[in-house]
Structure 1
Amino acid sequence: MSMSPFQALACPLDGEPLQLADNVWRCAAGHSFDIAKQGYVNLLPVQQKRSHDPGDSKTMVAARQRFLNAGHYQPIADAISSAVLRHIEEPPTSGSSPLSCLDAGCGEGYYLRQLAQAAPISQSLALIGLDISKWAVLAAAKQDNKQTPTSRWVVSSNAHLPVEAGTLDSVLCMFGFPVYSEFSRVLKAGGVLLQVEAGPDHLRELREIIYPTLKPERSNEAGVPEGFAHHSSENVRYTLALKGAEEIADLLAMTPHLYRASVEGRARAAALEELVTTVEVRVVQWLRV
């Protein structure tokens, strides 16, 4: 597997292509964006922010990094990597274009790193990880190999992807906020959007501890997004055993349940020394038409 840094970035201010020179991305109009010393670029203009420090906090990112690096969601990563790589129609040849993939809401970059490890040696990849949290992107860039980086790391928003139209083979949206119009715009015709959603039993045992009662599950059948056709769906389900208060706290900290639960519910979770819970996610593949 070889890495070919993703190049088709677009200016977040005027949508024009960005060119890289001397560690600075610059468009024809002169807008410029420096690559930070850690290896990422901030393409989130102030006018696109809804708060001073949007997205996951530094503490939440650290919790997610510990939890994912421990391998607790490895089966999900394996399913995603397999799905992305299955869409390669024929074995790559010398000089063939790299497989380009965007993780929209990449967090600290776990799933792109797993994809890079799963790709065959002969496959060239051009990966881009994007998140609205500067702390997440910073963590992703710090974990990367500076000699052969796994991905281009970008601070930005799914609502305004700083990517040229029709340049991506695949987009990942992992437990995130899909903006289908933007995903459709940046994907090539025939490209694939892989969307991962929590299933009805996802973390049920944890939720039964932190909430007095569980709300009825809402249907995920929202219909086919405009610009896409349904390709396939699969469930990933397994039992996860966590030992120690830190692992349980890390799981809670990387979910929205941390804020939805009451003080009493969080206290019950904090008192646990072990937890056996169900992991259930739905992987949906949409084809760009």
Structure 2
Amino acid sequence: MITSFQALACPLDGGPLRRDGASWRCGAGHSFDLASQGYIHLLPVQQKRSRDPGDSKEMVAARRRYLESGVYRPIADAVSRAVLADLPAGRQAACLDAGCGEGYYLRELAAAADAGGVDLAVLGLDISKWAVQAAAKRDKQAAWVVGSNANLPVLAGTVDRLLSLFGFPVYGEFARVLRAGGELLQVDAGPDHLRELREIIYPTLKAPRQSDERVPEGFRRIGVDTVRAAIRLDSAAQIADLLTMTPHLYRATAEGRARAAALESLDLTVDVSLTRFVREG
């Protein structure tokens, strides 16, 4: 059974938030309205670095179309398996997707949990209001929040699984909200990820960065898996969506973008690492 995560914290004073009709309130009287789309905005203006932080409406729409085509299903399946493995028995577990985008991976996880009869409370959080709006419109089971990984509006020690997928991990905050024994699952691009596209849009490819073997404070690494798959994009529109949803759109040269725009199909390599860390007590 999938339910919405309830252990939210006030982004202004850290106190517990309680649902009160169409609002969420803390003991100090701070109130946050539930948007008509079903999400909560918990990103105070003083925590913003720009007027409209995070992915734009166009990037979110491109990501939604691209992911819903199913080309990244191998990644979603691997993430779901890792989240659902060895969950605590005898009680409901809680999962936070910190940087959820438009919610694809969390929806896939919820479907897998439902199919397996797992009792899971889920929360998707992103700094982009456009991403959270899109996620909330599609899925009413999860809780969806506009917020920042730097100041997670989540009570300490309430999360069993935390996802950081192609995002910006803030390990101190992740450690704070995870229970002792809870797991952080971090997905990062590998050296061959989208290599074929990068060879088209860049004059030369940079040497792969050395993998970071450091373990964040408060965590212990318990495993690293690699997900590799061959995929095919079979339209210019799908290739354009991939470029639009990634930083490659802004890093590529004009000539490189033009070469990509001329393509009608593209064979690509998916290469990502999934690292599991456990929160030490």
**Of 191, 194, 204, the match for 1:203:** 194
| Alignment-derived partner of residue 39 in structure 2 | 40
| Alignment-derived partner of residue 85 in structure 2 | 86
Report the aligned-residue RMSD.
Answer: 0.9
| Alignment-derived partner of residue 259 in structure 1 | 250
Matching residue's letter, 2:66: F
1:36-115 to 2 correspondences below 5 Å: 36-90=35-89, 96-115=90-109
| Alignment-derived partner of residue 23 in structure 2 | 24
Spell out, residue by residue over 1:218-245, the C-alpha distance to the aligned partner (whole angstroms, 9 max, x if none): 1122400000000100000011111110
| Alignment-derived partner of residue 133 in structure 2 | 138
Are the counterparts in 2 of residues 11 and 27 from structure 1 also a CA contact under 8 Å? Answer: yes
Alpha-carbon distance in structure 1 between the residues aligned to 2:119 and 2:6: 14
Spell out, residue by residue over 1:171-205, the C-alpha distance to the aligned partner (whole angstroms, 9 max, x if none): 00000000000000000000000000000000000
Give the CA deviation at 1:87. 2.2
SS state of the match for residue 30, structure 1? coil
**Of 200, 212, 216, the match for 1:221:** 212
- Between the aligned residues of both structures, percent identity stands at 64
Alpha-carbon distance in structure 1 between the residues aligned to 2:75 and 2:41: 28
Give the CA deviation at 1:150. 2.8
Spell out, residue by residue over 1:234-260, the C-alpha distance to the aligned partner (whole angstroms, 9 max, x if none): 000011111110000111111111111
Spell out, residue by residue over 1:16-63, the C-alpha distance to the aligned partner (whole angstroms, 9 max, x if none): 110101120000110000000100000000000000000000000000
Are the counterparts in 2 of residues 10 and 17 from structure 1 also a CA contact under 8 Å? Answer: yes
**Of 279, 284, 287, the match for 2:270:** 279
Is 1:250 paired with 2:249? no
Spell out, residue by residue over 1:95-132, the C-alpha distance to the aligned partner (whole angstroms, 9 max, x if none): x4222000000000001100111114531110000000
Alpha-carbon distance in structure 2 between the residues aligned to 1:239 and 1:33: 45
Alpha-carbon distance in structure 2 between the residues aligned to 1:121 and 1:240: 28
TM-score relative to the length of structure 1 = 0.95
TM-score relative to the length of structure 2 = 0.97
Alpha-carbon distance in structure 1 between the residues aligned to 2:27 and 2:275: 38
SS state of the match for residue 100, structure 2? coil
Is 1:127 paired with 2:127? no
| Alignment-derived partner of residue 241 in structure 1 | 232
Alpha-carbon distance in structure 1 between the residues aligned to 2:105 and 2:21: 29
Alpha-carbon distance in structure 2 between the residues aligned to 1:79 and 1:172: 12
**Of 152, 160, 168, the match for 1:161:** 152
Alpha-carbon distance in structure 2 between the residues aligned to 1:281 and 1:131: 21
Q: How many residues were matched structurally?
A: 279
Alpha-carbon distance in structure 2 between the residues aligned to 1:46 and 1:230: 35
| Alignment-derived partner of residue 116 in structure 1 | 110
Matching residue's letter, 1:103: D
Give the CA deviation at 1:88. 1.8
Give the CA deviation at 1:3. 2.1
Q: Could you tell me which runs of 5 or more consecutive residues in structure 2 were left unpaired when the two chains were aligned.
A: none
| Alignment-derived partner of residue 93 in structure 1 | none
Are the counterparts in 2 of residues 112 and 150 from structure 1 also a CA contact under 8 Å? Answer: no
Alpha-carbon distance in structure 2 between the residues aligned to 1:13 and 1:134: 19
SS state of the match for residue 4, structure 1? strand
Q: Could you tell me which runs of 5 or more consecutive residues in structure 1 were left unpaired when the two chains were aligned.
A: 91-95
Alpha-carbon distance in structure 2 between the residues aligned to 1:122 and 1:70: 26
Are the counterparts in 2 of residues 113 and 150 from structure 1 also a CA contact under 8 Å? Answer: no
Matching residue's letter, 2:156: A
SS state of the match for residue 4, structure 2? coil
| Alignment-derived partner of residue 7 in structure 2 | 8
